[in-house]
């Protein structure tokens, strides 16, 4: 007999579940993904009275009907893993709605402990909740707490210890449905295979037309007997409730209304500050006007504040590389270490400050309550391009760096919406592309520099929206999911929660995307120092004559016929290959390949390009392969299949756009 219990935390979004999770588990947290999906799985541990508890944080859900991935995860976990205890956290200020999930948990026959969070807030609003009465009506233990103020946490731990051992399930009765439920159970009982399930749960779910349970029953021997009876029942219920499956929903709310009436004194009023803020922030015109500075601040904060830190990390790693080069005499090993591994690790860590500040800002907005309003404001516009309102944040973030932007899509529940938003994200021109634009715009269009650079950003946005609309129509063939989002009350964010969220997300990027990035950098290094004739020596990285024999050059030369319509030479093509490591590397690679310093480069490329071919090259750099880090994060978020899809469509699109620019440009000029 092990002395370790497994308990699960579940609750609606915005009830303070993460805060409680942190309060219970402290530092012992492990983050992974739920098997088979990219939804975050958080686990932690705590000890109480010599007993160990493993805490699993289930996704925030409103119900367990399982129409979203989060609900499927939560339901499957409770049914299949059978945790020793399900701790259901409810927002005391919105008990009426929160009890809906509680009832569903009770239907499942889980061993439940109900936690009423935000009790301090409820009291402030003049609400009184009769805990004893609530316990008696529901037949389960109820613990009032305030997770933020750490009030009641010890009581909760004690209650957990008490309830975890004597497993029992309390039944909830639905007066109008009992006859139906009993009858269905009496049929289900006859199948031995179904005995492992809670029959009452199956019966209720059958009346709700739940696909998952229908599938379970479909494979049982009693289907023939059950079907006609169930069909009759559904017909009857349809007459009563409009739609049969909505009957049980109404019953649940009837039960809840009765409970609330008996238990809660003085119903909650609305928070006035929230009302006042929303009058302004969700206004059709003012809201949009205010959204722009908010997003601008988010953007500026992320990239400007992180800038010096990234530069510092960059500096430290180049310094390290120098040290390694001068202290190891074996050229191959020193270059592998310095130009491959160290600069690869550096390439990963440079993202650390950017991600840290982005996630800090995002968590801050999330905890404040404003985040939920952003999709509301953007929904209408985004819908025109087949995108949900929530896609606005990742797209804006993409201007800074696509890596954190893609990770920011995690707030989207609908998988198709999320994949689509990730796929178009690399078209948002990140800051690493700017040096390329600056070089070419300065060399060829000095009079219109600003305008030319701006046109690249605009091209990216327009393409992203068009591609989104096209993919929506031909790849996903669905409409963007309807916006249904709760607008939580505004509050002053809690620094420790924000910091903890930030660290968890940054860490998961470093751990998962890191290896691919390091590998990519080493690969390009290998392609540079080796050629068809064998090992060229590390001088290849500094000497254009030697580099001309490397695999990089071979690939560049192989590619150049394909790009001959655009008039790019093989050096320009090889530079694109280096650009895969990071887009800003393109400029340095061009300088190296042409055998000049970056200062002399603009004079030299004037001879190698024409204004039209230069503009096409800029556009190509914008669109083709995302950098290795972006690719790594796409793979991390949505898997190899979509990462390769992104890669292919972008190369094709880049080619088409560059060719179009060349053809049209040459006709005009």
Partner 1 sequence: MYPLAFAKEGEEVVVKSINAGYGAVQRLSSMGINIRSKIKVVRNQNGPVIVSARGSNIAIGRGLAMKIIVERESDE
- Burial of 47 from C-beta contacts in 10 A (0-12 / 13-18 / 19+): exposed
Nearer Cβ to partner 1 (208/339): 208
Question: What is the DSSP track for 172-198?
Answer: ---TTTHHHHHHHHHHHTT-GGGGGS-
362 carries a ligand binding annotation: no
484 makes contact with partner 1 (CB under 8 A): yes
Q: Which two tokens stand for residue 503?
A: 């660290």
Among 85, 94, 142, 647, binds partner 1 (CB under 8 A): 94
Among 170, 485, 555, 596, binds partner 1 (CB under 8 A): 485
Buried b (16+ CB within 10 A) or exposed e, 79-92: beeebbbbbbbbbb
Nearer Cβ to partner 1 (128/283): 283
118 carries a ligand binding annotation: yes
Q: Quick one: which segment of 134-142, 222-230, 375-383, 423-431 binds partner 1 (CB under 8 A)?
A: 375-383
Among 197, 253, 457, 476, binds partner 1 (CB under 8 A): 253
State the nearest-atom distance from the C-beta of 214 to partner 1, in Å.
Answer: 12
Instruction: Give the span between the Cα atoms of 13 and 10, in whole angstroms.
Output: 9
Size of the site for partner 1 (CB under 8 A): 46
Among 45, 250, 314, 415, binds partner 1 (CB under 8 A): 250
32 carries a ligand binding annotation: no
Instruction: Give the span between the Cα atoms of 35 and 450, in whole angstroms.
Output: 48
244 makes contact with partner 1 (CB under 8 A): no
245 makes contact with partner 1 (CB under 8 A): yes
State the nearest-atom distance from the C-beta of 105 to partner 1, in Å.
Answer: 13
State the nearest-atom distance from the C-beta of 242 to partner 1, in Å.
Answer: 6
Does residue 586 contact residue 640 with C-beta atoms inside 8 Å?
Answer: no
Does residue 529 contact residue 535 with C-beta atoms inside 8 Å?
Answer: yes
State the nearest-atom distance from the C-beta of 413 to partner 1, in Å.
Answer: 10
State the nearest-atom distance from the C-beta of 27 to partner 1, in Å.
Answer: 33
State the nearest-atom distance from the C-beta of 248 to partner 1, in Å.
Answer: 10
57 carries a ligand binding annotation: yes
Does residue 458 contact residue 640 with C-beta atoms inside 8 Å?
Answer: no
284 makes contact with partner 1 (CB under 8 A): yes
Buried b (16+ CB within 10 A) or exposed e, 493-521: bbeebbebbbebbbebbbebbbebbbebb
22 carries a ligand binding annotation: yes
Among left, alpha and beta (phi > 0; psi -120 to 50; other), residue 505 is alpha
Nearer Cβ to partner 1 (62/578): 62
16 carries a ligand binding annotation: yes
63 makes contact with partner 1 (CB under 8 A): yes
Q: Quick one: which segment of 326-334, 341-349, 399-407, 476-484 binds partner 1 (CB under 8 A)?
A: 476-484
State the nearest-atom distance from the C-beta of 372 to partner 1, in Å.
Answer: 8
Instruction: Give the span between the Cα atoms of 493 and 365, in whole angstroms.
Output: 8
State the nearest-atom distance from the C-beta of 75 to partner 1, in Å.
Answer: 12
Does residue 422 contact residue 630 with C-beta atoms inside 8 Å?
Answer: no
Q: Which two tokens stand for residue 31?
A: 């983050």
State the nearest-atom distance from the C-beta of 20 to partner 1, in Å.
Answer: 19
328 makes contact with partner 1 (CB under 8 A): no
Token pair 């760096």 in the structure block, residue: 401
Nearer Cβ to partner 1 (234/377): 377
State the nearest-atom distance from the C-beta of 381 to partner 1, in Å.
Answer: 9
Torsion 366-370-372-374 (CA) sign: negative
Among 126, 179, 193, 242, binds partner 1 (CB under 8 A): 242
Among 57, 107, 339, 379, binds partner 1 (CB under 8 A): 379
Antiparallel, parallel or unpaired: β 264-265 and 128-129? antiparallel
14 carries a ligand binding annotation: yes
Nearer Cβ to partner 1 (319/381): 381
123 carries a ligand binding annotation: no
Among 229, 337, 341, 487, binds partner 1 (CB under 8 A): 487
Q: Which two tokens stand for residue 63?
A: 């119900």
386 carries a ligand binding annotation: no
The CA–CA distances, whole Å, from 171 to 137, 181, 228 equal: 10, 13, 27
CB atoms within 10 A of CB 429: 25
Span 171-230, contacts to partner 1 by CB under 8 A: 209
Instruction: Give the span between the Cα atoms of 392 and 375, in whole angstroms.
Output: 7
Among 479, 515, 558, 603, binds partner 1 (CB under 8 A): 479
Question: What is the DSSP track for 526-552?
Answer: HHHHEETTEE--GGGGT-HHHHTTSHH
482 makes contact with partner 1 (CB under 8 A): yes
Question: What is the DSSP track for 192-246?
Answer: GGGGGS-HHHHHHHHHTT-HHHHHHHHTSTTHHHHHHHHHHHHHHHHHHHSSHHH
State the nearest-atom distance from the C-beta of 313 to partner 1, in Å.
Answer: 40
Instruction: Give the span between the Cα atoms of 76 and 64, in whole angstroms.
Output: 9
59 carries a ligand binding annotation: yes
Span 122-161, contacts to partner 1 by CB under 8 A: none
62 makes contact with partner 1 (CB under 8 A): yes
Site residues (vs partner 1, CB under 8 A): 62-63, 65, 67-68, 93-97, 100-101, 209, 241-243, 245-246, 249-250, 253, 267-268, 270, 274, 278, 282-284, 372-373, 375-377, 379-380, 383, 389, 479, 482-488
Annotated binding site for Mg(2+): 22-23, 25-26
Annotated binding site for GTP: 11-18, 36-40, 57-60, 117-120
């Amino acid at each position: 007999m092990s002395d370790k219990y497994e308990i699960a935390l579940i609750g609606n979004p915005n009830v303070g579940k993460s805060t409680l999770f942190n309060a219970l588990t402290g530092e012992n947290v492990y983050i992974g993904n739920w098997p088979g999906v990219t939804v975050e799985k958080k686990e932690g541990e705590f000890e109480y009275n010599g007993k160990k508890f493993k805490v699993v944080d289930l996704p925030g859900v409103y119900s367990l009907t399982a129409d979203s991935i989060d609900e499927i995860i939560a339901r499957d976990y409770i049914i299949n893993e059978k945790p020793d205890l399900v701790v259901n956290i409810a927002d005391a200020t919105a008990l009426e709605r929160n009890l809906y999930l509680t009832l569903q948990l009770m239907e499942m026959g889980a061993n439940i402990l109900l936690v009423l969070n935000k009790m301090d807030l409820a009291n402030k609003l003049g609400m009184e909740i009769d805990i004893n009465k609530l316990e008696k009506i529901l037949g389960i233990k109820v613990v009032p707490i305030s997770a933020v103020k750490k009030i009641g946490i010890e009581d909760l731990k004690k209650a957990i210890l008490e309830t975890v051992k004597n497993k029992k399930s309390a039944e909830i009765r639905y007066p109008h449905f009992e006859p139906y439920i009993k009858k269905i159970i009496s049929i289900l009982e006859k199948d031995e295979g179904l005995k492992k399930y809670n029959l009452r749960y199956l019966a209720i779910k059958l009346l709700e037309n739940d696909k998952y349970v229908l599938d379970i029953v479909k494979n049982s021997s009693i289907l023939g007997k059950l079907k006609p009876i169930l069909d009759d029942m559904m017909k009857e219920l349809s007459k009563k409730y409009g739609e049969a499956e909505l009957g049980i929903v109404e019953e649940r709310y009837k039960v809840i209304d009765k409970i609330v009436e008996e238990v809660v004194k003085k119903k909650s009023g609305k928070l006035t500050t929230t009302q006042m803020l929303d009058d302004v922030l969700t206004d059709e015109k003012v809201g949009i006007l205010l959204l722009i500075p908010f997003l601008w601040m988010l953007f500026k904060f992320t990239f400007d504040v992180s800038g010096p830190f990234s530069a510092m990390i960059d500096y430290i790693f180049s310094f390290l590389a120098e040290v390694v080069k001068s202290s190891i005499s074996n050229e191959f090993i020193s270059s592998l270490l310095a130009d491959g591994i160290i600069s690869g690790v550096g390439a990963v860590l440079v993202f650390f400050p950017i991600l840290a500040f982005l996630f800090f800002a995002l968590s801050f907005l999330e905890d404040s309550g404003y985040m939920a309003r952003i999709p509301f404001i953007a929904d209408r516009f985004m819908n025109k391009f087949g995108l949900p309102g929530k896609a606005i944040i990742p797209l804006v973030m993409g201007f800074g760096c696509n890596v954190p932007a893609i990770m920011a899509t995690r707030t989207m529940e609908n998988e198709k919406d999320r994949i689509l938003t990730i796929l178009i994200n690399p078209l948002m021109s990140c800051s690493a592309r700017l040096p390329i634009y600056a070089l070419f715009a300065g060399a060829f269009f000095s009079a219109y520099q600003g305008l030319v650079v701006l046109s690249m950003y605009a091209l990216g946005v327009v393409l992203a929206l068009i591609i989104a609309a096209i993919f929506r129509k031909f790849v996903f063939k669905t409409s963007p999911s309807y916006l249904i989002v709760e607008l939580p009350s505004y509050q002053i964010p809690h620094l420790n929660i924000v910091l903890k969220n930030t660290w968890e997300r940054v860490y998961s990027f470093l751990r998962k995307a890191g290896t691919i990035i390091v590998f990519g950098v080493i690969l390009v290094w290998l392609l540079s120092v080796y050629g068809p004739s064998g090992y060229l020596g590390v001088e290849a990285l500094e000497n254009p004559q030697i580099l001309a024999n490397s695999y990089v050059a071979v690939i560049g030369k192989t590619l150049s016929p394909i790009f001959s319509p655009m008039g790019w030479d093989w050096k320009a093509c090889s530079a694109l290959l280096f650009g895969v490591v990071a887009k800003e590397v393109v400029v340095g690679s061009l300088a190296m390949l042409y055998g000049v310093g970056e200062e002399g480069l603009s004079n030299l490329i004037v001879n190698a390009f024409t204004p039209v071919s230069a503009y096409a090259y800029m556009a190509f750099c914008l669109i083709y392969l995302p950098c290795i880090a972006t690719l790594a994060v796409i793979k991390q978020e949505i898997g190899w299949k979509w990462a390769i899809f992104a890669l292919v469509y972008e190369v094709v699109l880049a080619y088409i756009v560059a060719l179009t620019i060349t053809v049209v440009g040459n006709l005009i000029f």
